[in-house]
Structure 1
Amino acid sequence: MEQALLSDQKQEESLSYYQYVGRTASFSAPSAIGEEVSVDEIRSASVFSDPNYYPPSIHSALVASPESDPSQGQALVFQGGYGEGFQQGYISNQFGRPILDEVEIRQLLIDHVGHRCCWASQPARRWKISAIEDCNVYVGTLETFIEERETVRETEPYAGGETDGKGTGLELGLWELDLRSEFPLLFVPHKELRAKIPHSEAKEKCSGCQGRGEIPCPTCNVGLEPGFYKENQMSQCHVCYGRGLIAHRDGSDTICNKCNGNGKLPCVMCASHGLIKCQTCNGQGSLLTRNIALVRWRTLSNRKVSATTGAASVPDEVFHKARGVQLYNTQAYQCNPAYFADSYLLNRFSSEVIADRTPIPPASRVICERHTISVVPVTRVTMAHRNKAFSFYIIGVNREDYKIWAQPNSEGFHQCIQPSKNRERNPVKATNGYLVVHANGGLNQMKMGICDMVAVAKLMNATLVVPYFDHTSYWKDPSEFGDIFDLKHFIKTLEADVRIVKRLPAKYKGMQAHVMKPRSWSKAFYYQKELSKILKQKKVIEFAFADARLANNDVPRPIQKLRCRACYKALRFTDKIQELGNTVISRLRATGNRYLALHLRYEKDMLAFTGCNHNLTSSQAEELRLHRLSVVRWKEKNIDGDEKRREGRCPMTPRETVKFLKAMGYPSSTVIYIVAGEIYGTNSLEIIKEEYPRLYTHHSLTTPAEMGALRVLNNQLAALDYIVALSSDVFVYTHDGNMAKAVEGHRRFEGFRKTISPDRRKYVELIDRFDNGEMNEIEFQERVKEEHETRIGGPLMRRRGEIPKQEDYFYANPLPGCICH
């Protein structure tokens, strides 16, 4: 028998479980410079809102009709979308989203209840819907990116030599300076630059000393003008009071040692020469002056928040679960108000935002403007049963939208990496020696290896030298640690755990280090007992490899937490890379607000390494085979690619990837960001783009000037992709390499963000059956969804195995260790 959703006895305490339906995410409507809209702003906006001013929600409000005939049931009447004249059940084609009707509302509620233990769906099916109320919040922003320039005069002592003055060329005007190489990313909050104006230097006589290089001593020649001074100005000795002798009680006198019996002391500042060196010109008598352009780039922003009257009574926690949907985003030299063919009211709202444009300072110019309008879609649904009313909130747009973008339930798990004050964060002891590490592989392999080495240094009580990066791997990237990660932040964050230095002390540089390869997947005692002894003797140990040197499991809890502090807190990308990543994310959001990051590991090195050549030509397969034979460190040379594919150990092909995304419910309008290097094959990306035209890469979302040197630095490009993948609404990977593992683990750590991990063995079986005509498209898609229903990155204990390769990697799933219930 189906259990009632709410019994009369438990109704009050149980309502909260049934109250919020929809996507769960922090509330951030796209707004000026990434600022979040506060609940206080919403409350304030709704107080002054005209109930007839703003349109209903983008999924439209529905209200009950008069109950003229109870036998006819509850009728729901469309009250208008963003305008009038559209067919009931749909909104303007400009937005292209079907509205929520009664059936969809009930189905959303049934889906929501289905995730709650011991709850039944009968109330969601049978209770009467008495009201559906729009509680939307609208956010309009106008950002104006400006450049300000002003000239300041700079002086310094003239030390001789030629000057870059009018004799060497015509002095450039302030706005004639070419600063394109220094130009920042658009809409950064603030950047300041000082640039020398060419041919503006001049040699001038120092006004402080009138060109003499010396000025009268301010102590013994106080008040005298330059050129007038008196020498040998002495002051009375304060020890003997000018006598030159010191009187004693027995009546004797001795010579004063302070003044040597003279009774006077020379000036302490100029030794009674009467002159001191002019500090303005450093004794040179001349100054070198030049014009300096002080340039500031900054973003002026204004934001307008408006809310429907219904938003005033929505609980705060509902808005904290909501996320804005961008309706309009344009960028131009000067933005004009938006035009919605179906909504005069939104047009009026946009005009008000534009009219409130922040005044531009006189000595500045506008580079660009960006105008956005967003809506936070919240609908309150009231249901009635036995003379009792119950309200719940729908957050989002529609049911299908909810299902494909819904985040996993965290089930009460949360981060727990802070050390215990009493046991885990003991002061760093005197070091046993220095640990030099050579990180190997690509960026993410090196990153995870460095996190292990931080933990190893703690176990060995060693001082860690900032790791050296691998420049010999397939990617051939010359970047060093400080080019990718914020070195100061790394050292500062871990200073209470491990002592970290930039380089070996001078006294150890000439010493022969003990070079070794530590055992893979070692337990803690290996480093605490065996290697610590060697470190005490040799003082410097050099590890030739860093990856996979520490076990996934059975490691002390404080060490596991330290690994996560190193990986997720200390290893922060440089400001330059992070800013560019934020720019790429904002441009992706502007195209559709939500996006899917696809790690398409269909690259030459991976295909050659795995021996996978499904759907490739014979010449391509031969090219990959020869490449595999040429890499000495790859031990497996003769590979049966078909067998490996059946075992699920091959990257998914572009066609297989498209079929998978379609089966999982992602429509052709989905915004997809490719997280990968160069995709192998001439038309590989075109296969995906044919089905998903809104396909982007780091190159398509940045200009050559913004990308700069990054375009040929593969590890830095990988860092950029990592930032974008971490922030995506959904992350999908087609092969579980180091990038996939690192991003998946980080997303679990950050609250179990949706990460779809295809079961490639099962998927290959299904798609081969589909290709052989053993199942139709609908059957294929249903089976794919069924097989991957639980593979979305939710809480799951790290799998153990008899050997490490059969286990889940610690950095792919830091539960247990860094995540607690």
Structure 2
Amino acid sequence: MNSAAVYPPLNAPAANPFPNIPGYEGIAGGAALPPPIPLQPVTPPQPAPTPDDWKIPELSEEEARAAFKDYVESQCCYRSGPAEEGVITSLESFNTYRLRLETFTESRKTEMAEKPYEGEMADFYAQPAPTPWQVQANTPNLFKEDTQEIRVPYTSSIKECNPCRGEGKIPCEDCNGNGYKPCRICNGSGNNDNQRCLSCDGTGKDSCSKCNAEGKKKCKTCNGKKQLLTFIKLTVKWTNNKDIHVEEQNCGLNSNKIESVNGKELFTTSQNRVYPLYGFPNPAIAEASDRLIKEHQSKFEQTTRILQQRLTVELVPVTKVNYKWKDNIHVFYVYGNERKVSAEDYPETCCCVIL
């Protein structure tokens, strides 16, 4: 019986046949490529925003109670008494600033790749290959994330498929390339209960159904094409990097809740590079804008190309409502344009059992 042929491992990585192409000398796959020096001029600093009215109208007692009632009705274990009959004693406004910085970046990485050869032109060295940052890509709309994989021009070549050695087929793993396996009835003995095995007609062999008894299957690497197209693959990724700062006023409401609602947009600017909001009426927002911009510059400028930045300031309404119920004082909050309610110490709850 002939021994099965030995083939290279299927997952052997493709070598770099292009060590002398500028920009591709050390292809490792996954490593971010340093961006070129920006060609666009830096935008000069912009004046601080000076809107006339940055106040959101205060919530009335009727509006606060209506939001409270809606909230209680949505809770299965809350009785309606406090919301309907509780006496509101005071309302305090804590309008909160929310600063958001978005930095829209483009990153590029290269790696060797290969695919079954399907008649494509092998253009390796037809002319000099563009460097990674010279390759044209279809940039999406600003601040919209996307990923594109591009075959770098003039890096494609054709080679024989290593796993199948250019045959288009590899030994079947199920039968070790023999085309048959031991009979499952007689376990390869040819006999069953001291009689000739009827299942295999005494041969002790079953035809391998995985390879139709050929002993070989179509090579998955080249899909039976016998050859591979080898090239440099460029992966371009656009990412909208976002950070948020909420300037709290110690009203007692969890800041995570404030981040999840809408507010009134006071100011927004979108430029190649944005600048800190010096002169902003709230000094803490100016300081936060300066900090976030420096953090984004340090984090993204060395490994990605910054295409655009957007800085937005919103005013999120927060009202703290104190109310009296059965001689005790309780609190609930109404926040966001949606007038969501938070009432963690609601005094009338029950245990519900769902059958």
TM range (shorter): 0.5 to 0.7
Matches within 5 A, 1:161-180: 161-166=119-124, 168-179=126-137
Name 2:143's counterpart in structure 1: 187
Distance in 1 between residues matched to 2:332 and 2:204, nearest whole Å: 96
> Is the contact between residue 104 and residue 307 of structure 2 (CA under 8 Å) also seen in structure 1?
yes
Distance in 2 between residues matched to 1:246 and 1:367, nearest whole Å: 75
Matches within 5 A, 1:618-657: none
Post-superposition shift, 1:342? 5.7
The 1:308–1:154 alpha-carbon spacing in structure 2 relative to 1, beyond 3 Å, is same
1:288 aligns with 2:229: yes
Name 1:96's counterpart in structure 2: 52
Select which of 194, 206, 214 maps to 2:161: 206
Task: Provide the TM-score with structure 1 as the length reference.
Answer: 0.26
Name 1:301's counterpart in structure 2: 242
Name 1:710's counterpart in structure 2: none
Distance in 1 between residues matched to 2:190 and 2:55, nearest whole Å: 104
The 1:361–1:275 alpha-carbon spacing in structure 2 relative to 1, beyond 3 Å, is farther
Distance in 1 between residues matched to 2:299 and 2:54, nearest whole Å: 40
1:328 aligns with 2:272: no
Secondary structure in 2 aligned to 1:359? Answer: helix
AA matched with 1:299: N
Once the two structures are aligned, what percentage of the paired residues are identical?
28
Give structure 1 stretches of 5+ with no counterpart.
1-91, 116-130, 223-231, 383-388, 397-404, 408-821
Task: Provide the TM-score with structure 2 as the length reference.
Answer: 0.55
> Is the contact between residue 247 and residue 285 of structure 2 (CA under 8 Å) also seen in structure 1?
no
Deviation readout 1:487-524 (Å, 9 max, x if unpaired): xxxxxxxxxxxxxxxxxxxxxxxxxxxxxxxxxxxxxx
> Is the contact between residue 379 and residue 395 of structure 1 (CA under 8 Å) also seen in structure 2?
yes
Matches within 5 A, 1:794-813: none
AA matched with 1:371: L
Distance in 1 between residues matched to 2:105 and 2:248, nearest whole Å: 30
Deviation readout 1:768-820 (Å, 9 max, x if unpaired): xxxxxxxxxxxxxxxxxxxxxxxxxxxxxxxxxxxxxxxxxxxxxxxxxxxxx
Post-superposition shift, 1:301? 0.9
1:259 aligns with 2:259: no
> Is the contact between residue 302 and residue 356 of structure 1 (CA under 8 Å) also seen in structure 2?
no
Select which of 291, 307, 310 maps to 1:352: 291
Select which of 261, 268, 278 maps to 1:339: 278
AA matched with 1:304: H
Q: Please report the RMSD computed on the Cα atoms of aligned residues, expressed in angstroms.
A: 4.9
AA matched with 2:139: F
Post-superposition shift, 1:369? 0.7
Matches within 5 A, 1:111-190: 135-159=94-118, 161-166=119-124, 168-179=126-137, 182-188=138-144, 190=145
Post-superposition shift, 1:243? 6.7
1:374 aligns with 2:333: no
> Is the contact between residue 328 and residue 338 of structure 1 (CA under 8 Å) also seen in structure 2?
no
The 1:347–1:333 alpha-carbon spacing in structure 2 relative to 1, beyond 3 Å, is same
AA matched with 1:208: P
Distance in 2 between residues matched to 1:93 and 1:191, nearest whole Å: 32
Post-superposition shift, 1:135? 2.1
> Is the contact between residue 168 and residue 199 of structure 1 (CA under 8 Å) also seen in structure 2?
yes
Matches within 5 A, 1:345-494: 345-357=284-296, 359-360=299-300, 363-377=303-317
> Is the contact between residue 54 and residue 266 of structure 2 (CA under 8 Å) also seen in structure 1?
no
More displaced 10-residue stretch of structure 1: 292-301 or 356-365? 356-365
Secondary structure in 2 aligned to 1:174? Answer: coil
Structure number with higher helix proportion: 1
Distance in 2 between residues matched to 1:338 and 1:205, nearest whole Å: 61
Distance in 1 between residues matched to 2:218 and 2:333, nearest whole Å: 77
1:279 aligns with 2:220: yes
AA matched with 1:327: L
Post-superposition shift, 1:158? 2.2
> Is the contact between residue 136 and residue 376 of structure 1 (CA under 8 Å) also seen in structure 2?
yes
AA matched with 2:240: T
The 1:355–1:220 alpha-carbon spacing in structure 2 relative to 1, beyond 3 Å, is closer
Between the two proteins, the alignment pairs up a number of residues equal to 258
Give structure 2 stretches of 5+ with no counterpart.
1-47, 67-89, 323-328, 340-355
Distance in 1 between residues matched to 2:105 and 2:244, nearest whole Å: 17
Matches within 5 A, 1:599-614: none
Distance in 2 between residues matched to 1:165 and 1:353, nearest whole Å: 46
Post-superposition shift, 1:360? 1.7
Distance in 2 between residues matched to 1:266 and 1:110, nearest whole Å: 84
Stretches (4+) displaced over 6 A: 108-112, 379-382, 391-396
Distance in 2 between residues matched to 1:246 and 1:381, nearest whole Å: 87
Deviation readout 1:395-431 (Å, 9 max, x if unpaired): 99xxxxxxxx9x9xxxxxxxxxxxxxxxxxxxxxxxx
Secondary structure in 1 aligned to 2:299? Answer: coil
> Is the contact between residue 253 and residue 333 of structure 2 (CA under 8 Å) also seen in structure 1?
no
Post-superposition shift, 1:142? 0.8
Matches within 5 A, 1:653-732: none
The 1:368–1:221 alpha-carbon spacing in structure 2 relative to 1, beyond 3 Å, is same
The 1:135–1:153 alpha-carbon spacing in structure 2 relative to 1, beyond 3 Å, is same
AA matched with 2:124: K
Name 1:678's counterpart in structure 2: none
Post-superposition shift, 1:293? 2.2
Deviation readout 1:167-201 (Å, 9 max, x if unpaired): 5443232222222xx3222222x322223322322
Distance in 2 between residues matched to 1:175 and 1:353, nearest whole Å: 27
> Is the contact between residue 140 and residue 373 of structure 1 (CA under 8 Å) also seen in structure 2?
yes
AA matched with 2:100: T
> Is the contact between residue 140 and residue 353 of structure 1 (CA under 8 Å) also seen in structure 2?
no
Distance in 2 between residues matched to 1:99 and 1:170, nearest whole Å: 61
Deviation readout 1:1-25 (Å, 9 max, x if unpaired): xxxxxxxxxxxxxxxxxxxxxxxxx
Secondary structure in 2 aligned to 1:178? Answer: coil
Secondary structure in 1 aligned to 2:252? Answer: helix
AA matched with 1:140: L
Post-superposition shift, 1:244? 5.2
Structure number with higher strand proportion: 2
The 1:375–1:247 alpha-carbon spacing in structure 2 relative to 1, beyond 3 Å, is closer
Deviation readout 1:52-105 (Å, 9 max, x if unpaired): xxxxxxxxxxxxxxxxxxxxxxxxxxxxxxxxxxxxxxxx992213989xxx99
AA matched with 2:246: V
